[in-house]
Structure 1
Amino acid sequence: MTEHRISTPFTQEKAAALRAGDRVLLSGVIYTARDAAHKRLCECLERGEPLPIDVRDAVIYYAGPTPARPGQVIGSCGPTTSGRMDAYAPTLLRLGLRGMIGKGARNQAVAQAMQETGAVYFAAIGGAGALAAACVKEAELVCYEDLGSEAIRRLVVEDMPLTVVLDSLGNDLYRDGPEAYRNQR
């Protein structure tokens, strides 16, 4: 396992250097989007409309931040279960989405699309929304305001702690990690 400091844009070259189990401190622009926003993005594409964000070499954080308290940039913003985006992720990956942040395993279609496109899936610490919020230096509503906390937001993060769970070669920490742990004992 290696530690990396990475800044966005998250290019294919940066993604190719990461392996499942690596620790990453991510800085730069990322977007929040959950399942309702993903559904709308894919509906835009079905209608032949441009997306409201450029997903090329972007990172999407599966989070729905709570409102910011006075003096804060953002409220708590812990990761949500990534499987809820599995129906939509391959479409966005094929448009150049390079990174996804969430919690929990991904399905085979997502893993396959990641290998085909050179993308990476990161896990954020579940239950630590305040820790994630402390990494956010700027937050701006981009679109789908009617979705409330599930609207798409543009965040500027600094040293957001993540772990590579699925790398661009198909290595899966959720699948392979338990066996490696048992072998170390």
Structure 2
Amino acid sequence: MEYKLTTPLTEEVTRKLRAGDTVLLSGVIYTARDAAHKRLCECLDRGEELPIDVKDAAIYYAGPTPARPGQAIGACGPTTSYRMDAYAPRLLHLGLKAMIGKGKRSDQVVDAMKETGAVYLAAIGGAGALMASRVKTAQLVCYEDLGSEAIRRLEVEEMPLTVVIDSLGNNLYQTGPQEYRTAMEQQ
């Protein structure tokens, strides 16, 4: 199935998505990589309010390059998601509904997704220019000292994504290779 979705993403919406579905995502998303995730969790440890509202939000695991004149953002491809696995369950339990990146996730992240109704969306690796073309505005939110890894608020329009792990735990990284082999054998 193909879905055109706009943030915020409610649990009612994310629970309908299935591994293999295509999502054209519009609205506000945030960029954050491992250093920013660590700081977010440190805020929580200190009892402080987070600098972004993660409830029903989507976080894109990306560290965009500087924008060229006339562009909202530079290349903005996904980073490997397992680097956020130590922090993701905590944010999922605070209401985060979508993570956008590439690569496998830990069992702890998948379990937290099933508990909270969240999804993991894959962005096209190696296509940072394509992903950047979907970004209409980009604003620095916090952690400027992290450079490209600072948290940014992006407004995106029809960002092309694939549901890789759904809220039931269905996982294309596990089922995809076997489905491919089966299809090749049938040819």
The alignment's TM-score, normalised by the length of structure 1, stands at 0.98
Distance 1:154 1:14 in 2: 22
**Do residues 103 (structure 1) and 102 (structure 2) align?**
yes
Distance 1:157 1:7 in 2: 9
Residue equivalent to 2:49: 50
Letter of the aligned partner of 2:26 in structure 1?
S
Distance 1:5 1:11 in 2: 14
Runs of 5+ unmatched residues, structure 1 = none
CA RMSD across the alignment: 0.5
CA offsets per residue over residues 121-174 of structure 1, 9 Å max, x none?
000000000000000001000000010000000000000000000000010000
User: How many equivalent residue pairs?
Assistant: 184
Q: How does 1:1-185 map to 2 (within 5 A)?
A: 2-185=1-184
Runs of 5+ unmatched residues, structure 2 = none
Distance 2:13 2:156 in 1: 17
Deviation (angstroms), 1:184: 2.1
| Runs of 4+ with deviation above 4 angstroms | none
The alignment's TM-score, normalised by the length of structure 2, stands at 0.97
CA offsets per residue over residues 27-50 of structure 1, 9 Å max, x none?
000000000000000000000000
Letter of the aligned partner of 2:170 in structure 1?
N
